[in-house]
Amino acid sequence: MRINTRKKRDAVIGTALRLFTEKGYENVSVEEIIAATGTSKGTFYHYFRGKEEILAEFGNRQRTIIDQWLKRTPKQVESLEGHLNGLFLDLTSNIQNAHRLHRSLIGLSLLNDALYEKQQADIQYLYDSVLRWLPEPGRAELLVSVYFGTIVRWCFSGEDDLAERMKANLAHVWNGLRHPQSEAVFRVSTPKEERSMRVAVIGGGLAGLTAASYLSELENIEGVLFERSPHLGGRAFTYEKAGFTLNYGAHAIYGIDRHEISTLEKELALSFSSKQVDKRRVMYAKNGQIATAPLDFVNIMKTGLLNTMEKVRFVAEAAAIIAHIHTMKNYPTLGDYLAESNASEDVKELWEHLVCSNFFIAPEDARKVSGAVISEYYHNLFLSTRPVNYVLGSWAVITNQLKQKIETSNRWNILLQEGVDSIRYADKKFVLRTKNREETFDKVIFAMPVQQVCKLLKNTAWEPFLAEYEGNTPTEVMVYDIGLSRVVARPFNYISDMDNKMFITDVSATDHTLVPEGGQLLQAIAYLNDEFEDEEERKAYLDQKMEQMERLFDRHYPGWREALAVKRVSKKAMVSSVKNIATNKLLPNRLENVPFYFCGDGCVGKGELAERAFSSARRVAQMIAAEAKAMSAKPAAPAHAGEPRG
């Protein structure tokens, strides 16, 4: 259709819809539309078969709003709940003033087959669009049904405020989605006098944000979160480049249905969606051969990594892990267990590689991981029905919500580029000094790498008690991200090179929100050895790893160099501040003779990597909440509030 013709047609549609809105569809004739637009009868019927066809155009205007919403990137989305609510409210605002028109549309669609089919197609389009961000059909269906149900109810009732009715109904739905066993209840807090506890959180990574989020829910606690860098999230930081959303390191979550993040989702009312990596498209490569990765019993029986007897042996070991009867938990390290095991070398190598993959460490370190740690970790993972998942929209979807929760409490402040330079105890308070200020607190939470904790507390009375944690080594990997302008190949979603101890994930195969239309995002990660004679040997080793990564790209994704749009290489990216091996020691949440609280991936907690950050932060917040409650219950001010003790 020519531009002038399209403009004329759009003008007729706009005028007709205005008349329908003002007078009601039934009260507007074709002749009136022709008169109002200055067209002829022939022109009108050249564009439309009748006025009901114009009515169908209303749905196309709603689709335009949906299309604009779909173009938003993860960086623009603070939370999944807010993102979806924004869509429904934008659509609502477009029909708020068209009460009579929409009522006519609903009524006529029951009598006109073409109009009915068009409306059903519009409903399906909205459902499919919601499903792109919320790939859970049941939840997507519920939200879309509530949206349309609210409109129908509004159409056949008084002309009240549709937007307010929509907000109220969606609030009830989200409450049910977050707390499936609870009812939506309106509560009013009765003001009462309480002494307030002041808490400092040092570090704005996942642990610091989590601890502050939990504490921000308590009315008798106020605080400040200090972050030295210009952004929150720590190693979970996400940024955009040329339409691609890049994460500093992997953002996969293992065993999400048994993961601490699922607890946070319920307790902190987080809203996010995740998608499981297709287990049948996860592969291991060994000696030039590609085989199915042993993620579950089905894959174990299919894999070519083991012969029949070895498969039976490995299945039996997995079953024993699930039942908590595997003897591995009694061994100091995996290496000690494998040394005494009568399993074949292939089974031993598979155990070693699994630990490398999930703990992001080299083989020599995998053998140093505690048997009890491995047994507990794989007990949860083997029981999980969703072993490998991605949070759609990356870590930013989580960190943005935690930030929003802290800020909207009105009791907490977040200070960026405000690192704590020193800490001392005076007048029964902890005094924290930054480059810009000095503030006092009752409690202090360290949510930062253990090495930085030791550095900050150097030359203080607490330094000696941290000495045994000062030598802890971090888990570091090489990360190689490539954003491609097109999908060059998609042979699998994940390929792990057992020979060179590295893997490639086709991130965009699972999380489509991270790439521009038609693009592909691949992330390669290599597990690193950290023992070298000198700097020259270390540099040569890292250069060799980078070359191996590029050869792996060449082999499985030919043409990637020509389609390259974005590249990011981090030769030594920290995955965890403390490598969870026998020669290191995780920092307890409380330390004898030290008055502070500690959380993060280098501290004692459930799981590995990000899960340990979440779980340790939640535990620390519970400790402080209990102390705040006890303090509030006392009839008089405590004599030694915040006094250093163990």
Q: Does pLDDT of 42 surpass 80? A: no
Distance between CA atoms of residues 5 and 12, nearest Å: 11
Q: Does pLDDT of 254 surpass 70? A: yes
Nearby residues of 104 by Cβ (< 8 Å), 6 or more positions away: 20, 24, 25, 26, 55
Mean pLDDT of 289-294: 83
- Supply the pLDDT for residue 382: 84
Gyration radius of the chain's alpha carbons: 29
Mean pLDDT of 259-287: 88
Mean pLDDT of 587-607: 94
Query: Predicted confidence band at 179 (pLDDT cuts at 50, 70, 90)?
Result: low
Q: Does pLDDT of 487 surpass 70? A: yes
- Supply the pLDDT for residue 4: 61
Lowest mean pLDDT among 253-257, 317-321, 426-430: 317-321
Most confident of 50-59, 318-327, 364-373: 364-373
Mean pLDDT of 6-32: 71
Query: Predicted confidence band at 343 (pLDDT cuts at 50, 70, 90)?
Result: confident
Mean pLDDT of 460-465: 91
Query: Predicted confidence band at 641 (pLDDT cuts at 50, 70, 90)?
Result: very low
Angle between helices 610-633 and 206-216 (to 10 degrees): 30
Higher per-residue confidence, 564 vs 72: 564
Lowest mean pLDDT among 414-428, 484-498, 611-625, 628-642: 628-642
Q: Does pLDDT of 159 surpass 70? A: no
Q: Does pLDDT of 603 surpass 60? A: yes
Higher per-residue confidence, 208 vs 171: 208
Query: Predicted confidence band at 432 (pLDDT cuts at 50, 70, 90)?
Result: very high
Burial of residue 590, with CB atoms counted within 10 A of its CB: 0-12 exposed, 13-18 middle, 19 or more buried: middle
What domains appear along the chain, each with residue ranges and CATH number? 49-178 (1.10.357.10), 197-236+394-472+580-633 (3.50.50.60), 293-390 (1.10.405), 475-576 (3.90.660.50)
Q: Which of 380, 360, 397 is nearest to 274 (CA)?
A: 397
Chain-wide mean pLDDT for the chain? 85
- Cα angle, residue 23 at apex, residues 17 and 26 outer, rounded to 5°: 85
- Supply the pLDDT for residue 107: 66
- Supply the pLDDT for residue 249: 60
Q: Does pLDDT of 545 surpass 60? A: yes
- Supply the pLDDT for residue 177: 76
Burial of residue 500, with CB atoms counted within 10 A of its CB: 0-12 exposed, 13-18 middle, 19 or more buried: middle
Mean pLDDT of 269-289: 86
Query: Predicted confidence band at 578 (pLDDT cuts at 50, 70, 90)?
Result: very high
Q: Does pLDDT of 511 surpass 70? A: yes
Query: Predicted confidence band at 646 (pLDDT cuts at 50, 70, 90)?
Result: very low
- Supply the pLDDT for residue 109: 66
- Supply the pLDDT for residue 462: 93
Q: Does pLDDT of 280 surpass 80? A: yes
- Supply the pLDDT for residue 210: 96
% residues pLDDT > 90 (the chain): 41
Long-range contacts of 69-75 (CB under 8 A, 24+ apart): 69/129, 70/129, 70/132, 73/240, 73/243, 73/245, 73/513, 74/238, 74/240, 74/245, 74/392, 74/393, 74/394, 74/396, 74/397, 74/513, 74/514, 75/238, 75/239, 75/240, 75/245, 75/396
Residue 521 pairs in a beta bridge with 483
Quickly tell me which residue has 């140093």 as its tokens: 368
Residue 505 pairs in a beta bridge with 494, 523
pTM comes to: 0.76
- The amino acid sitting at 513 is T
- Supply the pLDDT for residue 640: 42
Mean pLDDT of 217-224: 94
Secondary structure of 553-606 as H, E, C letters: HHHHCCCCCCCEEEEEEEEEEEEECCCCCCCCCCECCCECCECCEECCCCECCC
% residues pLDDT > 70 (the chain): 88
Lowest mean pLDDT among 46-50, 306-310, 377-381: 46-50
Mean pLDDT of 263-281: 87
Sheet arrangement for strand 502-506: 289-292, 282-286, 494-497, 502-506, 520-527, 475-484, 564-576
Mean pLDDT of 28-42: 79
- Supply the pLDDT for residue 390: 85
